[in-house]
């Protein structure tokens, strides 16, 4: 899922009243989360392969 897609999904929660608009992070923040997760996942996968 792309950051823009995730942002749009979060906006649906705002429209339904489950989230407040100010609680939805910026697209760049979501992209940073995805990048950090992917980097960490790859590092852990590499460590597991070496063991």
Could you list the residue range(s) of the whole structural domain that residue 32 is in?
3-50
Q: Identify whether the C-beta of residue 33 lies closer than 8 Å to the C-beta of residue 9.
A: no
Residues in the chain: 51
Tell the burial category of 25 from Cβ atoms under 10 Å away from its Cβ (0-12, 13-18, 19+): middle
Q: What is the pTM of this model?
A: 0.78
> Using H for helix, E for strand and C for coil, what is the string for the chain?
CCHHHHHHHHHHHHHCCCCCHHHCCCHHHHHHHHHHHHHHHHHHHHHHHHC
For the chain, 51 residues long, give each residue's pLDDT as a single digit of tens.
799 999 999 999 999 999 999 999 999 999 999 999 999 999 999 999 987
Q: How many domains in the chain? A: 1
């Amino acid at each position: 899922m792309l950051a823009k897609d995730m942002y749009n999904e979060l906006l649906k929660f705002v429209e339904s009243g489950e989230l407040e608009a100010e609680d939805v992070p910026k697209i760049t923040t979501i992209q940073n989360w995805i990048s950090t997760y992917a980097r960490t996942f790859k590092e852990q996968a590499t460590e597991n392969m070496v063991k």
